[in-house]
A and B are shown apart, each in its own frame.
Chain A
Amino acid sequence: DAGVIQSPRHEVTEMGQEVTLRCKPISGHNSLFWYRQTMMRGLELLIYFNNNVPIDDSGMPEDRFSAKMPNASFSTLKIQPSEPRDSAVYFCASSFSSGGYEQYFGPGTRLTVT
Chain B
Amino acid sequence: AQSVTQLDSQVPVFEEAPVELRCNYSSSVSVYLFWYVQYPNQGLQLLLKYLSGSTLVKGINGFEAEFNKSQTSFHLRKPSVHISDTAEYFCAVSDRGSYIPTFGRGTSLIVHP
Question: Is B101 a contact of A100 with CB atoms below 8 Å?
Answer: no
Say whether A103 faces chain B, with CB atoms less than 8 Å apart: yes
Chain A residues with Cβ under 8 A from B46's Cβ?
A: 102-104
Say whether A4 faces chain B, with CB atoms less than 8 Å apart: yes
Say whether A95 faces chain B, with CB atoms less than 8 Å apart: yes
Contact with B along A35-79 (1 / 0, CB 8 A): 000000011010010100000100000000000000000000000
Question: Is A107 a contact of B51 with CB atoms below 8 Å?
Answer: no
Question: Is B45 a contact of A105 with CB atoms below 8 Å?
Answer: yes
> Of the candidates B32, B41, B43, B94, which one forms a contact with A105 in the assembled complex, judged by CB atoms under 8 Å apart?
B43
Most buried by B among A50, A103, A106: A103
Question: Is B103 a contact of A42 with CB atoms below 8 Å?
Answer: yes
Question: Number of residues in B with C-beta < 8 Å to the partner?
Answer: 20
Question: Is A105 a contact of B44 with CB atoms below 8 Å?
Answer: yes
In the complex, which residue of chain A has the Cβ closest to the Cβ of B47?
A: A102
Give the A-binding residues of B (Cβ under 8 A).
Answer: 32, 34, 36, 41-46, 49, 51, 90, 94, 99-101, 103-106
Give the B-binding residues of A (Cβ under 8 A).
Answer: 4, 31, 33, 42-43, 45, 48, 50, 56, 91, 93, 95, 97, 100-108
- Given A4-B43, A91-B43, A106-B43, do A101 and B90 touch, yes or no (CB 8 Å)? no
Question: Is A48 a contact of B51 with CB atoms below 8 Å?
Answer: no
- Given A42-B106, A43-B90, do A103 and B101 touch, yes or no (CB 8 Å)? yes
Chain A residues with Cβ under 8 A from B51's Cβ?
A: 100-101
Interchain nearest-CB distance for B33 vs A (Å): 10
Most buried by B among A43, A91, A95, A97: A43
Interchain nearest-CB distance for B32 vs A (Å): 5
